[in-house]
Amino acid sequence: MALLNRMDWYDLARTTNWTPSYVTEDELFPPKHSGEFGLPLSAWEKYDEPYKQTYPEYVKVQRDKDAGAYSVKAALERSRIFENADPGWKSVMKAHYGAIARGEYAAASAEARMMRFSKAPGMRNMATLGCMDEIRHGQLQLYFPHEHVSKDRQMDWAFKAYDTNEWAMIAARHFFDDIMVRDAISISIMLTFSFETGFTNMQFLGLAADAAEAGDHTFANLISSIQTDESRHAQIGGPALKVLIENGHKAEAQKRVDIAVWRAWKLFSVLTGPIMDYYTPLEHRQQSFKEFMEEWIVAQFERALTDMGLDLPWYWDIFLNDLSQTHHGMHLGSYFWRPTLWWNPAAGVTPDERAWLEEKYPGWNDTWGQCWDVFIDNVVDGNMAMTYPETLPYVCNMCQLPILGTPGKGWNVKDYPLEYNGRLYHFGSEVDRWVFQQDPERYAGHLSIVDRFLAGMIQPMDLGGALKYMDLAPGEIGDDAHNYAWAEVYRALRATKKVS
């Protein structure tokens, strides 16, 4: 008997809604978990997923992907790529694994909430596959770095990071909890549409390209294997947005998109921005972080939102301006506080690298470059104590990252305060404060790393106490990726000037 074409039966097979007879619809799909939009099952049955895949098809494709990823890893195990890789590239891997691996497992729970509580049959089907995707991604990104733990203790942070109070992980958890621990429809909009379609998908594309260019084909193959999953289940939120807009809930849909896009941007400014513009060896850089964002994020979101019938986020001009600034400050700050990282940041400021930065970001030398000039002088003079901070930066109560501004003539660091229930909150931008105001009870109880320090929760109240609180042990504490070898060119230039 000939098999029917999948499209002849798929829609019928996945239409699994029914009229409950012994419970109410709200008992079957509690609004708190399903989404308090007041739409009946009939409205959600119009949800039309772009990726239509059956379980047998899914299993076959995933088996082939796993076979490819693990076979490449096995074939290259004797290549000593990790031992021979540029230290900056090693830091790329460490930062990625620590920030992402366990987050993938957390995303499986978010997919499971859509799988159980969404009223849209198509979403439940896609989320079932998406849940298995995220489990696979977590397993891959814990297994691959594990072989390097015996060579480098920082690689253990792939598993360890999410269980610590390291400042970057506080920021990551705050963001991921916000977009993953919500009702099913909000998760579909904030996690899959806003974050995965716009940011995660592109993060993996960029990393795969940089890994291949750097000769790390194991990592490139791993990331590509994951990205092809992301491109599928990242499409869950789009059809949900269409249903909401068609039923008069555009404002609520728009608000969720605006919150998630901004929050994702702030996290990527400290993770992906420095990786692309400073850590990746100069000869392997395909494009600047700003160019990458403009090509893959800005253009895509403008098109996707317009096609969906939504508006650009109200802060779009602020976001576009920040593409040239924010990640430079995040890099300078994280490098300055490098002992509080689980990876070794690459300075990325040799004369050739600075020329590249000036080309990509005109005015860099007169702003961020001025700060690095002081830093370079202290390294060359052997004043290493001056290359570490004596105080803590003030941290935004929304993104949990330092409040910063561009140095130079236009220097204008600004706090955006807000008093709520007798407590004064501080935000790094008008947008961060706006996000808080949309649901203050959701965010009000959280303490930033600086709030905890001032509350006496970190003892002793010094760097040693902070490292202990962050669970950073000897051998894991961050330092310059290249052991300051990059400063030798400046030492030689100074000697040449003295001779002349």
Buried b (16+ CB within 10 A) or exposed e, 62-101: beebeeebbebbeeeeeeebbeebbbbbbbbbbbbbbbbb
pLDDT band of 497, cuts 50, 70, 90: confident
Can you give the pLDDT at residue 437? Answer: 98
Q: What is the pLDDT of residue 203?
A: 67
pLDDT value at 8 more than 70: yes
Has residue 334 got a pLDDT over 50? Answer: yes
Q: Flag the least confident range among 107-116, 289-298, 335-344.
A: 289-298
Instruction: Give the integer Cα–Cα distance in Å for 118 and 456.
Output: 43
Share of the chain above pLDDT 90, in %: 69
Output the pLDDT for position 1. 37
pLDDT higher than 60, residue 500: no
Give 498 or 393, the one with higher predicted confidence: 393
pLDDT-derived band at 278, boundaries 50, 70, 90:
very high
Average pLDDT over residues 428-453: 97
Q: Is 78 helix (H, G, I), strand (E, B) or coil?
A: helix
Is residue 199 over pLDDT 80? no
Report the pLDDT averaged over residues 258-285.
Answer: 93
303-333, pLDDT tens digit by residue?
888 888 999 999 999 999 999 999 999 999 9
Question: Can you state the angle between helices 6-14 and 121-146, rounded to 10 degrees?
Answer: 100
Closest CA to 96 of 193, 190, 187, 220: 220
Residue-wise DSSP of 153-211: GGGGHHHHGGGS--HHHHHHHHHHHHHHSS-HHHHIIIIIIIIIIIIIHHHHHHHHHHH
Confidence of residue 69 (pLDDT cuts 50, 70, 90): confident
CA distances from 345 to 68, 86, 89, 131 (A): 31, 12, 10, 33
For 292-296, 313-317, 393-397, which range has the lowest pLDDT when averaged over its residues? Answer: 292-296
**Mean pLDDT value of segment 394-410:** 92
Q: What is the pTM of this model?
A: 0.94
Whether 250 and 180 have beta carbons less than 8 Å apart is answered as: no
CA–CA separation, 436 vs 377, rounded Å? Answer: 41
> CA 436 to CA 433: how far, in whole Å?
5
Task: Pick the range with the lowest mean pLDDT from 74-78, 269-273, 290-294.
Answer: 74-78
Rg of the chain, C-alpha, whole Å: 24
Which range, of 215-219, 275-279, 461-465, averages the lowest pLDDT? 215-219
- In this prediction, residue 202 has a pLDDT band, given cuts at 50, 70 and 90, of low
At residue 499, the pLDDT reads 57
- Mean pLDDT for the chain? 91
Least confident of 258-262, 370-374, 459-463: 459-463
Four-point Cα dihedral 153, 159, 164, 168, nearest 10:
90
CA diameter of the chain: 92
- Per-residue pLDDT, averaged over 228-233, amounts to 81
Question: Looking at per-residue confidence, does 378 or 284 come out higher?
Answer: 378
At residue 201, the pLDDT reads 66
**Least confident piece of the model among 117-131, 198-212, 376-390:** 198-212
Would the pLDDT of 366 be above 50?
yes
Rounded CA separation 206/291 (Å): 11
pLDDT tops 50 at residue 444: yes
